[in-house]
């Protein structure tokens, strides 16, 4: 295939694509359900997933090569056009921008994506191929999906190439811990990698993101619409918890609407000032931040917001400079009565595991110590512990069911959403595992077909020292194909491949 070049690759892919298309359209007796073929179908689905991941990685390289080829072609045409009129040549930056737009349009029409989507995909694929060899390898070997790979590459956009490579290595080291991770957990791991690679840029990135606050309205199916608002992380966590509490209150009072439907109706009623609007109430939002990030910004530590996930520490520092900070300063003066501030802050010391960073204990300085074990488990797990779920925690579950002798204790508890709490009917087994090679609260989920996934709480902190992108790293064994090693001019000809 290497000898035949791109033409041979296109021919081979065409043959394989024809075969798979024919099997999908005319399977005959190939996919007849049979109780004895469950294991065989499991292998087929697994291999299709691996093949799709390999194809996504191959597509990333091919799309980047296509774009670069089109850009070079456009630049050659411009040079030929202005060969005799060099004073009329467009500026190099303008020429490069126009060529990139043409390449994005070509990819858009070829892949049937919108121009904006094709442009974003092309940019993320460039980062994967050029600066993120570990994530590209993980994609090709089906350790992550293309959605995760592209979302991570888009998140790395504010970083420099050296910082992207450092963050890429950081994520690669965490791949074993992210085996059963959902999208929100991956977002948190990505944010931690960005903060570790560029700790001094947290405030700058947050201020830039704050300038992009907006509300959007999108058309949905069957006469519905989707409204989304881009707000600060803490405000978003407050809104979600307030709506959820109101839905739970109305359900307990006998309302038969679904939980999500009540949240949507309450949101509309409150925003439009209708009769069924929510009344003011008290919210308790858990915010976890290290003393380093609180007192000395730029350390790279991220904060954790209950019901949201990781957020730049600068978000909470700004909040503590405002009403929350005033309320915290006035606590010793007993100013929390009816005439006190609208926001109150209570400090609690949290203790994490020295190696895993998981929450293991809490000491409260509040007047009433929060004795409920459920709150502690919510703080520890942060999101549903079901594999690849990451939904908000709705119920505290016994890992080993209480009816089977499971104890009501921290080790046997996990936070789950309502769907995943039916694990006994959905899986073969769910059990707490003690691993000699790994610390922490690890739970193994085994499907009825035998697929195993490990889940663990998100780490509140990462104890190991962050990577330092300013120090040149050793060359990776998986180098992007378009980078060339320096060689003496006498040992390299124009036709010698990199």
pLDDT for res 88? 63
Specify which residues 410 forms β-bridges with: none
Could you tell me how far CA 111 lies from the centroid of its own chain?
Answer: 25
Residue 394 burial class via C-beta count within 10 angstroms: exposed 0-12, middle 13-18, buried 19 and up: middle
pLDDT for res 66? 87
Measured between alpha carbons, how far is 312 from 187 in angstroms, rounded to an integer?
Answer: 13
pLDDT for res 330? 52
* Distance between start and end Cα atoms, the chain: 17
Query: What DSSP string runs through 204-253?
Result: HHHHHHHTT-EEEEEE-STT-EEEEEE--HHHHHHHHHHHHHHHHHHHHT
Contacts 24+ apart (CB under 8 A), 418-422: 418/394, 419/386, 419/389, 419/391, 420/384, 420/385, 420/386, 420/389, 420/391, 421/394, 421/395, 421/397
pLDDT for res 50? 93
Residue 70 near residue 102, CB atoms below 8 Å: yes
Whats the size of the chain, residue-wise? Answer: 498
Q: At what angle do helices 38-81 and 146-155 cross, to 10 degrees?
A: 40
Measured between alpha carbons, how far is 486 from 479 in angstroms, rounded to an integer?
Answer: 13
Specify which residues 395 forms β-bridges with: 416
Measured between alpha carbons, how far is 401 from 398 in angstroms, rounded to an integer?
Answer: 5
Residue 198 near residue 298, CB atoms below 8 Å: no
pLDDT for res 161? 93
Measured in degrees and rounded to the nearest 5, phi and psi for residue 64 equal -65, -40
Could you tell me how far CA 317 lies from the centroid of its own chain?
Answer: 23
Torsion sign over Cα 132, 133, 138, 139: positive
Closest CA to 415 of 442, 441, 387, 386: 386
Number of Cβ within 10 Å of residue 79's Cβ equals 12
pLDDT for res 24? 93
Q: Domains of the chain: which residue ranges?
A: 43-157, 231-285, 287-455
Place of tokens 């630049």: 75
pLDDT for res 369? 33
Number of Cβ within 10 Å of residue 288's Cβ equals 20
What's the pLDDT tens digit per position in 411-446? 888 888 888 888 888 888 899 987 656 678 889 988
Residue 390 near residue 414, CB atoms below 8 Å: no
Alpha carbon separation from 460 to 43, 103, 194, 288, 311 (Å, rounded): 37, 42, 15, 8, 11
Pairing of strands 429-433, 359-364: unpaired
Number of Cβ within 10 Å of residue 457's Cβ equals 25
Place of tokens 């949507």: 264
Place of tokens 């881009």: 230
> How much of the chain, in percent, has pLDDT values that exceed 90?
24
Measured between alpha carbons, how far is 161 from 223 in angstroms, rounded to an integer?
Answer: 45
Model pTM score:
0.66
Residues of the chain where predicted confidence (pLDDT) is lower than 50: 331-341, 364-370, 465-498
Place of tokens 């892949």: 111
Torsion sign over Cα 441, 461, 161, 117: positive
Closest CA to 187 of 156, 217, 218: 156
Token representation of residue 386:
């079901």
Token representation of residue 81:
């056009």
pLDDT for res 89? 62
């Amino acid at each position: 295939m290497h000898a035949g070049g791109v033409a041979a690759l296109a021919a081979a892919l065409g043959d394989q694509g024809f075969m798979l298309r024919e099997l999908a359209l005319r399977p005959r007796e190939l996919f007849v359900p049979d109780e004895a073929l469950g294991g065989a179908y499991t292998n087929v689905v697994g291999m299709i997933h691996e093949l799709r991941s390999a194809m996504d990685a191959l597509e990333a390289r091919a799309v980047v090569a296509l774009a670069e080829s089109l850009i070079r072609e456009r630049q050659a045409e411009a040079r030929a056009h202005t060969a005799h009129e060099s004073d009329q040549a467009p500026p190099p930056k303008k020429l490069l921008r126009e060529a990139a737009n043409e390449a994005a349009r070509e990819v858009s029409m070829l892949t049937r994506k919108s121009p904006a989507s094709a442009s974003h995909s092309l940019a993320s694929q460039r980062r994967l191929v050029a600066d993120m060899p570990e994530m590209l390898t993980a994609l090709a070997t089906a350790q992550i999906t293309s959605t995760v790979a592209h979302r991570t590459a888009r998140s790395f956009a504010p970083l420099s190439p050296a910082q992207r490579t450092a963050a890429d290595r950081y994520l690669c080291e965490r791949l074993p811990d992210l085996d059963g991770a959902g999208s929100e957990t991956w977002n948190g791991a990505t944010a931690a990698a960005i903060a570790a690679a560029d700790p001094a840029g947290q405030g700058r990135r947050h201020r830039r993101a704050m300038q992009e606050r907006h509300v959007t309205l999108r058309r949905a199916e069957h006469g519905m619409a989707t409204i989304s608002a881009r707000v600060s992380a803490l405000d978003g966590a407050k809104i979600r918890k307030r709506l959820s509490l109101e839905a739970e209150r109305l359900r307990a009072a006998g309302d038969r609407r679904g939980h999500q439907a009540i949240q949507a109706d309450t949101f509309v009623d409150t925003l439009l000032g209708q009769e069924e609007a929510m009344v003011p109430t008290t919210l308790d939002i858990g915010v976890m931040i290290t003393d380093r990030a609180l007192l000395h910004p730029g350390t790279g530590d991220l904060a954790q917001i209950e019901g949201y996930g990781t957020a730049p520490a600068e978000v909470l520092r700004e909040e503590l400079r405002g009403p929350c900070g005033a309320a915290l300063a006035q606590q010793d003066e007993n100013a929390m009565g009816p005439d006190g501030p609208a926001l109150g802050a209570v400090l609690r010391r949290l203790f994490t595991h020295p190696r895993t960073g998981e929450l293991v204990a809490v000491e409260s300085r509040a007047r009433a110590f929060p004795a409920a074990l459920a709150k502690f488990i919510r703080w520890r797990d942060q999101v549903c512990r079901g594999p690849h779920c990451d939904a908000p925690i709705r119920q505290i579950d016994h890992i080993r069911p209480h009816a089977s002798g499971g104890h009501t204790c921290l080790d046997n508890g996990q936070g789950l959403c309502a769907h995943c709490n039916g694990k006994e009917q959905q899986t073969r087994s769910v059990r707490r595992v003690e691993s000699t090679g790994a610390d922490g609260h690890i739970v193994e989920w085994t499907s009825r077909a035998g697929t195993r996934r490990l889940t663990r709480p998100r780490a509140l902190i990462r104890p190991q020292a962050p990577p330092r992108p300013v120090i040149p790293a050793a060359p990776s064994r998986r180098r992007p194909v378009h980078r060339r090693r320096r060689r003496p001019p006498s040992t390299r000809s124009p036709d010698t491949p990199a």
